[in-house]
Amino acid sequence: MKLKHLILLFLLLFGCRMFKISGQDPERQWPGYRGYMSSGVLDNANLPESFDPAKMTNIRWKIEIPGLGSSSPVIWDNRLFITTAISKSDTAGFNPGSMINVISVTDSSEHAWKLICIDKNSGKTLWEKTAHTGIPAMKRHPKSTHANESVATDGKYVVAFFGSEGLYCYDMIGTLQWEKNFGILKSVFFTMKNAQWEFASSPIIYNGVVIIQCDVLENSFLAAFDVKTGKELWKTTRDDYPGWSTPNIYKNNGKTFVVVNGYKHMGGYDFTDGKEIWRMSGGGDIPIPTPIIGKDMIYLNGSHGKTSPVIAVNTNATGDITLSDQQTSNQFVKWSKPRGGSYIQTMLLYHNHLYNVGWNGIVSCMDPSTGNEIYIGKLGKTKSFYSSPVASDGKIYIVDEEGTVYIFQDGNEFKALAEIPLNDPSMVAPSITDGMIFFRTQHYLIAVGKK
C-alpha cells in the first residue's frame, strides 16, 4: 500500500474516532428529558467516585439559575440548555412534604419564560432568550413550576415547550426559527377542574421531527412537526384524562413508532403519519412517567387512583391489548404487575435490571424479562422523591426533594453507596455527559466532575 493511501486510511480512522469523541454520536449526548431515548443511562462517563458541594470537592462549578423551573438540563457537545420562568412575585418555590395540598398556587404575576444556553465546562452563559412574557394561562401545583418541560435538541436545533405559552424552536446560537401556539392547554386534576397543575410533557426530536404529547382536559392530541420549518406533519386526536408524561420512540421490524403513557389510552402510533397502532387502558389515572424501551419491550408504569401497574408490552403490539380482569399477560403484553408502579418517577432499565423508585424512596428491582422481583431496597428514612433515577458505570443516582443525592450499586442486591446533600430542594432528574453529572436544585445548577 502506498504511503498516501496509508495516510488517507489513518485520517479516515482518526476522523471517525474524533467524530465519536467530539460527541456527535447521539447516544453519547443527553438530547432531551433523561438523555438519549429517555433511557437515563450514559456509561463510560468516568464520573468522580465522590463529591462534596459544601467543600466544593469535585465540583466544577455552581451557578444560580434565576426564577423557578423543574426542567432537567439537556446537553449536546459543550452546550447545556435549561429553561426557567421568572417572576418578581412568584418566589415561593417548591412546597416540600406532603402532596395532599393539590390546590393551585394563587400567583397571577407576569412571568418571563427563558431558554438559557450554558457552556457545560465553565458554567458561563453563552446566550439567553426570552420566549414569552405575560401572566401564565394556567396556574401551577405547589410542587410544580411554569417551566417543567425539558428542551429537546439534535445538535442543530433546540426546541422548548412551555405549554399554553407556546412551542419555540431555536438554532444552536439562539436564533428563533419558528414558534407555535396551541391555545390554553388545560393541565388540571380531572376530578377537580379548578386544581390547575401546569403543563409538563417535554418535546422529543427524532430524525428531524419534533413530537409533542398534549393530554389535557379538552382537545387532547399527539402531533409531529418538521424541526427545520415547523411544518405540521400530522396531528392525531387523543381521548384521555390530563397527563404529564413525555412520549418516546420505539422500533419494530424496521419501522419507527411513537409510544405514549396514559390512563384510558396508553398506545403506539406510526411515526410517519400518526396512525394508531395499538392501545390499552388501565394505567394510573394521572399518568406522569415516560415509557422506556429495551429488550424488544416497552415498559410503562403509573400510580394513582385504583391502579398502579407496571406493564411490559411487546414492540410488535397491534390493536386493543387491554388486559381483562385478573389477566396479567396476553398476546402482546408479556407481563404486568397490578401494583408497584410509581406516581412520578420514570423507570430505569439498566443492564439486566428494571428499577422503579417510589415517592417514599422504596427501590423495586425487577427482572425485565419476567417482572419477577429481584429485591426491594430503601433510600433514606422518611424522605420523599419526585425526580427519576439515572445511571452510569454501574452506579444509580437519584435526588430526594430536600436535595440529597443517593447513589446505589447496580446489581442483584441492594447496596447503598453514598448520601450527599446538595443543601437545596430538588425535583429534577440529574443529567450526565462525559466526565460530568449535573444536578438542578431550586436555586442552582451544580456541575460535578473531576477537577
The CA distance from 387 to 402, in Å, is 11
Provide the grid cell at 417: 453507596
**The three grid cell numbers given for residue 300, joined into one nine-digit string:** 410503562
Phi, psi of 104 (to 5 degrees): -65, 150
The number of residues in the chain equals 451
Residue-level pLDDT at 98: 62
- What is the per-residue pLDDT for 92? 76
Amino acid at 108: S
What's the pLDDT score for residue 7?
40
Q: Report how far residue 431's alpha carbon sits from residue 72's, in angstroms, rounded to the nearest whole number.
A: 7
Which H or E run contains 252? strand 248-252
Give the three-class secondary structure for 353. Answer: strand
How crowded is the C-beta side of 18, counted as CA atoms within 13 Å?
6
Q: List Cα–Cα distances, 346 to 280, 288, 292, 354, 441, in angstroms.
A: 19, 8, 8, 11, 19
- C-alpha torsion angle, residues 443, 82, 436, 402 (rounded to 10): 30
Tell me, what's the pLDDT at 381? Answer: 82
- How many Å apart are CA 70 and CA 419, to the nearest integer? 22
For 112, other C-beta atoms within 10 Å of its C-beta total 17
Q: Say which residues have a Cβ less than 8 Å from residue 402's Cβ, sequence separation at least 6.
A: 96, 383, 425, 426
- Report d(CA 220, CA 212) in Å as an integer: 11
DSSP assignment, residue 214? E
Tell me the DSSP string of 384-451.
-B-SPPEEETTEEEEEBTTSEEEEEE-SSS--EEEEEE-SS------EEETTEEEEE-SSEEEEEE--
Domains of the chain and CATH, by start: 67-244 (2.40.128.630)
Task: Say what the pLDDT of residue 17 is.
Answer: 38
| pLDDT tens digits in sequence order for the chain, 451 residues long | 454 444 434 434 444 433 343 346 889 999 999 999 999 999 999 999 999 999 999 999 999 999 999 999 999 999 999 999 999 888 777 776 666 678 888 889 999 999 999 999 999 999 999 999 999 999 999 889 999 999 999 999 999 999 999 999 999 999 999 999 999 999 998 888 888 899 999 999 999 999 999 999 999 999 999 999 999 999 999 999 999 999 999 999 999 999 999 999 999 999 999 999 999 998 888 899 999 999 899 999 988 877 889 999 999 999 999 999 889 999 999 999 988 888 889 999 999 999 999 989 999 999 999 999 999 999 988 779 999 999 999 999 999 999 999 999 999 999 999 999 999 999 999 999 999 999 999 999 999 999 8
Spatial CB neighbours of 81, under 8 Å, sequence gap ≥ 6: 73, 74, 75, 115, 116, 117, 118, 151, 153, 158, 160
